[in-house]
Every structure is written in structure tokens, then in C-alpha cells.
Chains A and B, each alone.
Chain A
């Protein structure tokens, strides 16, 4: 899942180079530099890709602190 999440970030940012530079530890807003609109489009893509629905009550800004944390959140929803 981690790799797919990075692929979606690179797609949203239109920066293929991110496939090499991002890792599980990368922060989505600092390292990947997703702005607020890009985060929205990222979430929409993730919901489509993994057939899940992000929910305000369970989603937290902490989940954007790393690709790994975000992937774990998505994996939890997909259970």
C-alpha cells in the first residue's frame, strides 16, 4: 500500500521524481508539499483506489505526518 500511496502523491503533484524521493517516513504536507486542495484530490483518489471512505471523525491531521501513518489509517478502514 505504501508504494501505491506514493504513486498517488506523485500523480497528484505531477512530479514523477517523488517516486524516488518519498518514503514511508515522508510527511505529506512538508516533504510531499501537498497543499490543501491537493490533499483533497489525494483523498478522493485514495478513496477510489482502495474503495474506502475517509471520515472526519476518525481522520486526523496526524495521519498526514507520514506515508506510513496514512497507509495504516487507510488499511484500518479497508478491514
Chain B
């Protein structure tokens, strides 16, 4: 019997990695054993290099990023069979039974494990977007019945315009408007993609000071009054553990364009960009699943840029419908009104505690089931 909860993340972007890390921290805090696995550890080096190349290409061209989502792929061709076999044997030996799956890529591996395990396997397929993201859509194309035998959990119900559950980001209560700094965070998600870089001038002309996520030192220009840049360590990869063998939040720092920047490790999510987000008046970003989690947890409204694919369009519509976000175009039409942001922030504050915490519910169910095994 093994009650360790294995959380299966993908390191393509941060959106399917950070939520897994937050769940691991929360479950551990609730007294459960939890461990992360990152999909890219099952890929040969040359495939990981391709991931890096794709990231750079997507940063340089949003059109390229968007087109990538139109092309179906079979992720199984990117797997290292020996690495998969090693992991499956380890799980079997440890009799792993409890899994939370954040990326459709992992279901191919889980299907193999369920055949091999020799014990009952309980796996939640946790959808962190309001519609199927590419890994799930690709999986569905290969196997329309992929969810059979799994427990599907959607964080959102876009049809009913509801949030079904939330993920705790850990850094305490959302700050009230009066305790915030009035600045705007502008970012392009974990990969730095989208139209966010085009907005700096307009936002500053409207009188806002910006906290900008940079993705390479080269993109930091000369000093602009009121502007700050922040960056995750560009050498860090989601699939690399730290010296103590743990997966970590990205090392993070405010940067000035000096090439000798140092990026200290982040022990908690709040020591990274999330700590900047929770003090800001709003976040301007594409509507990724990670952006929604940050927004809800920190009580910081989203000004929504162009979505990265159809699933993010549904994320965007949901946040607008709930009164937690506004499209960039609509906000620009309001004259970049800060009152609009305050109202959205008030909506988020009013919703505090309204949405069940996924990890807490999971832990409770596990406990109720007596470990289920």
C-alpha cells in the first residue's frame, strides 16, 4: 500500500508545472506524501533541445505559436522508452496508486501503468483551463475514450460560468486595494508569448508604472521611469531538480539588463513573480490557465490580451463573464480607467473562500476513503 500522491506535470510552459508544485506543497502541508514528476524527464536530450528551440520561436512570433496548436502531434514519438520503463517499474515496485494528472501527455504513460501496476490505480485528470488545452486535444484525437477509468476534474464550467475549484498559491490572503502599489504587471506567461510587449508604451502613456516579465536580458532596454523588469533564471528548466533533489519554483530576480544578474532560488511561490502580482492593481497577460490561478488566488484582476489558442479564448470569456477580468481592447476604450480595475478587484475579493480548494478536497477524499487501498 502506498498513499504517496504522484503529481504529473508538464514542463513545456509553467502553466502545467507551477500548479503541480503548488498542489504538492499544499498536500504536503496537509500531511500527505506528494511527489512531482515532470513529463520532459521522459524525453531524450534532443527532444528537450527541440522544446527550447520551439520556446524561442514562439517568443519571437505569436503567429508561429498559434499555428503550432493547429497541428496534431503524437507525443509518444518524443518519449524515451527506457526512461518510461524505468519510471513504470519504480512506480510498480512502490505500488503507487494515487495520481493527479495535469497534462494529457501523461495519460499514455498512465495507461501503461494501469496495465502493469497489479494494484488499483486512482488518477484525477485535472483540467486547469476552461476548455481542453493542446495536450488533451491531441490525446482525444488519438483516443476519444481516453478518460475511461480516470476521474476527470474540471476547475471551471464555462457553460455555467462557474469556478468549480481553486488552487491555493500559498502566500496568504489577497491584499485589499489600499495595500496595493497601483502598478501593473505585464507578462507573456511562462514562455513569454503573446502581444504583451506591444502594450508597454500605451500603458505608460496612460500613467501606469509597469512591472514587466522579461524572458532574456537582451529585451531589457534603457531605463524608463517607473518601469521595472523581472525575470526567471533563463538557464533554469522545469525538468531539472535542485541540489536536494526537489523540483522548485523558478529562481527569480528583478533585473536591470546587467549580464551578471544572479537569480536566487525561490522557496515559495510568493518569492517569485506571484509576489509582484499580488501587490499590483492588475495583470496584463494572455489568458493562460496559470494566469487564472494567479488572479483568483491573489485577487488581482486580469486585463486579457489575445488568447493562445481556442482554450485560452474560453478562459478569457469566463474571466470576463465572472467579472474578474476585462479584455485589453475594452479597457483601452474606457481610457485605461483605474476604477474599472478596482471594481474587478472588488469582485475577486468578494469571492474569497467561495471556491473549494482542490488539494484540500482531494486530501479529505483520500482520508475518507481510508487511503482507498
Contacts and interface: CB of A to CB of B under 8 A. Distances in A.
A40 B54 CA distance: 10
A32 to B, nearest CB: 15
A36 B57 CA distance: 11
A12 to B, nearest CB: 12
A22 to B, nearest CB: 20
B54 to A, nearest CB: 6
Interface string B73-92: 11000000000000000000
A25 interface: no
A4 to B, nearest CB: 19
B53 interface: yes
A53 B315 CA distance: 23
A59 B71 contact: yes
Given A36-B50, A37-B54, A56 B72 contact: yes
A54 B72 contact: no
Contact of B63 (A44, A55, A61): A44
Nearest to B50: A36
**How many A residues are at the interface, by size bracket?**
10 to 19
A16 B349 CA distance: 61
B154 to A, nearest CB: 20
B53 A43 contact: no
B70 A61 contact: no
B137 A56 contact: yes
Contacts of B64: 37, 40-41, 44
A31 interface: no
Interface in B142-163: none
Nearest to A47: B67
A44 B72 contact: no
A56 to B, nearest CB: 5
B112 interface: no
B41 interface: no
A37 B64 CA distance: 8
Contact of A36 (B69, B70, B73): B73
Interface footprint category on B: 10 to 19
A55 B69 CA distance: 9
Contacts, number: 42
Nearest to B64: A40
A60 B72 contact: yes
A35 interface: yes
Nearest to A60: B72
B2 interface: no
A8 interface: no
A5 to B, nearest CB: 16
B181 interface: no
Contact of A54 (B70, B137, B141): B70
A18 interface: no
B68 interface: yes
Nearest to A39: B71
A51 to B, nearest CB: 15
Contacts of A60: 72, 141
B68 A59 contact: no
Name which of B64, B70, B74 has the most chain A CB atoms within 10 A of its CB: B70
Nearest to A64: B71
B40 to A, nearest CB: 15
Interface in A1-44: 35-37, 39-41, 43-44
A43 B67 contact: yes
Given A35-B50, A56-B72, A44 B67 contact: yes
Contacts of A40: 57, 64, 67-68, 71
Contacts of A41: 64
A35 B70 CA distance: 15
Contacts of B71: 36, 39-40, 43, 54, 56, 59
Given A37-B57, A41-B64, A44-B63, A59 B50 contact: no
Nearest first, the 8 closest Cβ-Cβ pairs linking A and B are A40-B67, A54-B70, A56-B70, A40-B68, A44-B67, A43-B67, A37-B57, A40-B64
12 contacts: A35-B50, A36-B68, A37-B50, A41-B64, A43-B67, A54-B67, A54-B70, A54-B71, A55-B70, A59-B70, A59-B71, A61-B72
